[in-house]
Structure 1
Amino acid sequence: METGGVSPQPSVQQPLGSGAGKAPEDDGGGGKGSVDGDATSGNPYARLVDDLRAAWLSGKTRPMEYRMAQLEALGRFLDEKKQDILDATALDMGKPPFEAEFSEILLCKNELHETLNNLSHWVKDENVDKTLVTQLDSAFIRKDPYGVVLIIAPWNYPVNLLVGPLVGAIAAGNCVIVKPSEMTKNTEKLMAEVLPSYLDKDCFAVVTGGVQETTRLLENKFDYIFYTGSPSVGRIIMTAAAQHLTPVTLELGGKNPCYVSDSCDVQNVARRVAWGRFFNAGQTCIAPDYVLCSVVMQEKLLPALRKAIDEFYGPNPQESPDFGRIVGDKQFQRVQELMRSGRVVIGGQTVEKERYIAPTVLVDLQPSDPIMQEEIFGPILPFVIVANVDEAIDFINSRERPLVVYAFSSDDKVVNQVLERTSSGGFCGNDTLMHVTLTSLPFGGIGSSGHGMYHGKFTFDTFTHHRGCLHRSMGREALNALRYPPYSPQKLGIVRAASEVKRKGACTLL
């Protein structure tokens, strides 16, 4: 398993007390908790996993009151440690306070409040339709927790992408191990040292460390694994999960296309695209990865982008308090190397000692250029020329399915055409990033950009086993006798009539 960070020895800390970004090769994780492990298995995390499983089997996490109390405690963590979160993310990657509070705290609190507001309804048994033969019985879906689940978070949004899934895992009644990214060391330390004072030590634990520790952690049997990171490491996670037939959600990345039609408000497009691309210094899995447009639109959009960048960050973005930095040296070098593709028309300045890369726009690119082969994960926006919307759609469909497709046009028919003729994890018309702010929308990938979904109720559902249940009476055996041998055509006719689901409003097409 590759990671952009170091691989420290496991840190000896207690599990949580009572009361991972994803550039193509930069993921990893793990080690904290019961590092002495189990004498028979030799795995340093076996005892920790066993202890959590015992707590889950005891039923401690199932009562509604318990789940609500833990979620409320998580909310207190976000409120009381807000400044600590802002400080840690600033130290780790120069994240501006506005961006950190919006993406790491506000969006997490939205998830939390949506869950607290609705959990009592979500957990209820769901009654289902019945056939004639089961009309007197009880048929329902029981919302069961999976058990002991593992959440591996990335470095680019180190609080949001850990706490967001954790909200749903707690709400569903699971015991949880969370693994923050070792790439953002200050945020990792905050999670390991401060979060323990808010949650129940019997049911929740933090594991810290690097590649070696995560590899050993994944040797254990979990009941569900939720991973956010790169496709390459996603394959490793899935392989490890397959050894125990453990279900997984993989939130991966991809090259998100952004089609801009010839009919649009150019300056509005420029501001919205620039914000989405350069937010968090471009280290966002749903950032627009490249622009598809005509030569005519490119000539209009380039000066509009230059103006938007100047409005956002001033004449020298390096001095702007509102523009972040690349998370690490390895990531800086990788993004800097990608800038060799095409021709720089905006930005291009770099300062290695600060891990600063200016908001940059590239033109004269070929689909085969290195920057068009991998997710950029930095403040670079390439332009690819297409003749029209049909050519743009063909270009999108010729590549792996992305995490999101963006389309800009003053003509709704054009936006809908891109929506209907492409496939992606999500879609946003005439803006960037904003679809992810809605707890009412599922968020997730498709194909190489991942599978599974979360946010709001979708997070609760992800960490919930929907258990199909039928409860019948011990009486009325005469009715049941119709299905027992010896069989007869008469019995079959009665059983068929009582059991079949009839089609409604059927008609014959001529």
Structure 2
Amino acid sequence: MQKQEIETILVSQRKFFATGQTLPVSWRLEQLQKLKTSILQHEEDLCTALNQDLGKSRMESYMCEIGLTLSELTWMEKHLHRLACEKRVPTPLAQFAARSFQSPTPYGTILIMSPWNYPVLLTLEPLIDALAAGNTALVKPSAYAPATSAVMKQILKEIYPPEYVCMITGGRQENQALLTQRFDKIFFTGGKTVGREVLRHAAEYLTPVTLELGGKSPCIVDSTAKIPLAARRIVFGKYLNCGQTCVAPDYILCDASIKEDLLRAIQKEIIRQFGEHPLENPDYGKIINEKHFHRILELIDPKKVVCGGVSDPSTLRIAPTVLTDITWEDPVMDEEIFGPVLPVLAYSSLDEAIRIVESHPHPLALYFFSENKKDQKKILDLCHFGGGCINDTIIHLATSSMPFGGVGESGMGGYHGVEGFKTFSHTRSIVDKKTWMDLPIRYQKYVGWKEKLLRIFLH
């Protein structure tokens, strides 16, 4: 799509927003219902496309993408009236007589840029929040998941006019054309490199930005952890979507005393969940493209492989792989892995583990497996990260009741549920001052009795 076409769409969206049609809550709910109905009608198409792009099974497609998207829709439909209403707040005595309230208002025209690893969830979930808040939206999915993008584009085109919601497909040319435009809010999910580029362009117009990035999310396992259960939950979280999950455990930091037991338990769980030959498992996904396939293979040191390490270039599959005797000098620790490779490092004390985590950029997620309540609190108090779990992995993002987002280099801002509505809204503070009386204290001339009363009011 040419830059001029994008500009034309943006002009039409601004005009549509200016009519006020997106403001009534009843109208917003109607649009959300249309989206829900269309997703359900196209569920088979979405499952087929997700399998084509990422090798996702039907179960995984629903559990991690379609189902969670529908869950956010249902939550927003249930709570939108409450979120959109004015909220009365106390009025200071010095401002008597008046009514003070907070009033949420939509930003206007939103740009949503989404990634390829969860193309349905990470495109439609922020869109749901943006529409619930009363905005118009221009959506740009990743070019790496073309089949899924085509289905989503069809869904949105069937139910929404382009002056309200429009999806633009394409690659870098379209991304650059979009980022040179002026939006009222930009929501980006993806890697740090592109995230910095988005932030630089947004600064040109002082556009508010939400960045959902990633990072090397640690999984700490101490000596009190229930090893078999920990292994089962780590294997699930790490190898879901073939490791291509922004909140997947990137590496394990375990107590040296339980390292060998944990390694054996993880190997056992990989066989239990994926079979003796994972590359033959029809429910095991694939790497998104050849570029990432070869990038991940280069991170695997054959001398340090505990299990896995095998791959199939014809299907872009890499077996669940575990590495041991890893140090921070190994290539696998230089970057976010974003693939089915799990390095295991050991620590001698929990304080050492905390120092290691805190000496690196704040991750999007952190996971701690322990039965020690005191140490659980210590980790939460001293480690900085976007979100996480105690004795599990990745499930913290699967709820509309809690915000999801990063901190530091792993992102800024959040969404889901209440936080999603707030992310795409500006909350105005309003004082409705009454006219039947007017206190003279604030007006000149400033005399002694006025100052005394002022001190009483403001003390």
Is TM more than 0.5 here?
yes
Which amino acid in 1 is paired with 2:16?
A: A
Q: 1:299 to 1:219 in 2, by over 3 A?
A: same
Match of residue 194 from structure 1: 155
Deviation at 1:36, TM superposition (A): 7.0
Partner of 2:385 in structure 1?
424
Check if 1:347 corresponds to 2:308: yes
Q: Say if 1:289 and 1:376, in contact at 8 Å, map to a contact too.
A: yes
> Which of 398, 404, 414 is the aligned partner of 1:453?
414
Helix, strand or coil: the match of 1:173? Answer: coil
**Is residue 159 of structure 1 aligned with residue 159 of structure 2?**
no
Q: CA deviation at 1:494?
A: 1.7
What is the CA-CA distance between 1:474 and the residue it aligns to? 2.7
Q: Does 1:220 align with 2:207?
A: no
Shift of 1:469: 0.6
* 1:113–1:46 Cα change, 3 Å: same
Give the structure 2 partner of residue 111 of structure 1.
72
The question of 1:184 aligning with 2:145 is answered yes
1:483 paired residue number: 442
Structure 1: distance between partners of 2:303 and 2:214: 23
Out of 354-363 and 336-345, give the one that drifted further.
336-345
Give the deviation of 1:341 after TM superposition.
7.8
Equivalence for 1:492: 451
Select 2:328's aligned residue among 351, 364, 367.
367
Letter in structure 2 aligned against 1:485: Q
Q: Of the candidates 124, 135, 138, which is equivalent to residue 99 of structure 2?
A: 138
Q: CA deviation at 1:493?
A: 2.2
Take 1:321 and 1:36, find their aligned partners in 2: how far apart are those partners? 42
Aligned pair count?
459
Q: Secondary structure at the match of 2:118?
A: coil
Using the TM superposition, give the Cα deviation of residue 412 of structure 1 relative to its aligned residue in structure 2, in angstroms: 2.1
Q: What SS does structure 2 have at the residue aligned with 1:194? A: helix
CA displacement, residues 389-434 of structure 1 (integer Å, 9 cap, x when unaligned): 1111111011100001100012222222211111100121000011
Q: Offset at 1:476? A: 1.6
Partners of 1:313 and 1:454 in 2: CA distance: 33
Matched, 1:249 2:210: yes
Secondary structure of 1:482 counterpart: coil
Q: Describe the SS at the equivalent of 2:183.
A: coil
Q: Could you say which residue in structure 1 is the equivalent of 2:230? A: 269
Name 2:371's counterpart in structure 1. 410
1:61-100 matches, within 5 Å, as: 61-100=22-61
Of 469, 473, 478, the match for 2:434: 473
What's the offset of the Cα at 1:439?
1.2
Verify the 8 A CA contact 1:419 1:427 in the aligned structure 2: no
Corresponding residue to 2:130 among 140, 165, 169: 169
Q: 2: distance between equivalents of 1:377 and 1:103?
A: 17
Matching residue's letter, 2:107: Y
Q: Which SS does the other structure have where 2:152 is aligned?
A: helix
Checking the alignment, whether the CA contact within 8 Å between 2:362 and 2:407 is kept in structure 1 is yes
Alignment identity in percent? 39
- Contact map agreement 1:74 1:198 (CA 8 A) in 2: yes
Deviation at 1:93, TM superposition (A): 1.1
CA contact (8 A) 2:192 2:409 kept: yes
What amino acid is aligned across from residue 54 of structure 1 in structure 2? K
Q: In structure 2, what is the Cα distance between the partners aligned to 1:457 and 1:102?
A: 22
Q: Is the 8 A contact 1:277 1:287 kept in 2?
A: yes
* CA offset digits 1:328-382 (Å, max 9, x no partner): 1111111111113860011000111211100000011111222112100000100
Deviation of 1:77 after TM superposition, in Å, equals 1.9
Query: 1:157 and 1:493 mapped to 2: Cα distance?
Result: 62
Matched, 1:462 2:410: no
Q: Secondary structure in 2 aligned to 1:468? A: strand
Return closer, same or farther for 1:451/1:102 CA change in 2, 3 Å cut-off: same
Equivalent position to 1:327, from 285, 288, 293: 288
- The alignment partner of 1:61 has SS state of coil
Q: Which amino acid counterpart does residue 331 of structure 2 have in structure 1?
A: P
User: Within 5 Å, which residues of 2 pair with 1:283-294?
Assistant: 283-294=244-255
Query: TM-score, with normalisation over the residues of structure 2?
Result: 0.98
**Hey, what does 1:18 align to over in structure 2?**
none
Rounded Cα–Cα distance in structure 2 between residues aligned with 1:402 and 1:426: 9
Residue in 1 aligned with 2:170?
A: 209
2:445 partner amino acid: P
* CA drift at 1:464: 0.6
Q: CA deviation at 1:485?
A: 1.7
- Aligned partner of 1:437 in structure 2 is 398
Q: Give 1:109 deviation, angstroms.
A: 1.0
Counterparts of 1:138 and 1:105 in 2: how far apart (Å)?
A: 44
The secondary structure found in structure 2 opposite 1:385 is strand
Calculate the aligned-residue CA RMSD, in Å.
Answer: 1.3
User: Do 1:425 and 1:449's aligned partners in 2 also have CA atoms closer than 8 Å?
Assistant: yes
* TM, length-normalised to structure 1: 0.88
Instruction: State the alpha-carbon separation in 1 of the partners of residues 98 and 155 from structure 2.
Output: 50
Question: Alignment partner of 1:353: what SS?
Answer: coil
**Aligned counterparts of 1:265 and 1:385: Cα–Cα separation in 2:** 17
Does the CA contact (< 8 Å) of 1:341 and 1:370 recur in 2?
no
SS in 1 for 2:414: coil
**Which secondary structure does the structure 1 equivalent of 2:329 belong to?**
coil
Q: Is the 8 A contact 1:180 1:191 kept in 2?
A: no
2:268 aligned with 1:300, yes or no? no
- Determine if the alignment matches structure 1 residue 336 to structure 2 residue 305: no
DSSP-derived class of the 2:298 partner: helix
Partner of 1:15: none
Please name the residue that 1:123 is paired with. Answer: 84
**Contact 2:9–2:162, Cα closer than 8 Å, also in 1:** no
- Write the deviation string for residues 128-186 of structure 1: whole angstroms up to 9, x where unpaired: 12111224211111110000011000000000001110111000000101111110010
Which residue is equivalent to 1:14? none
1:71–1:167 contact (8 Å) kept in structure 2: yes
2:302 and 2:309 in contact (8 A); partners too: no
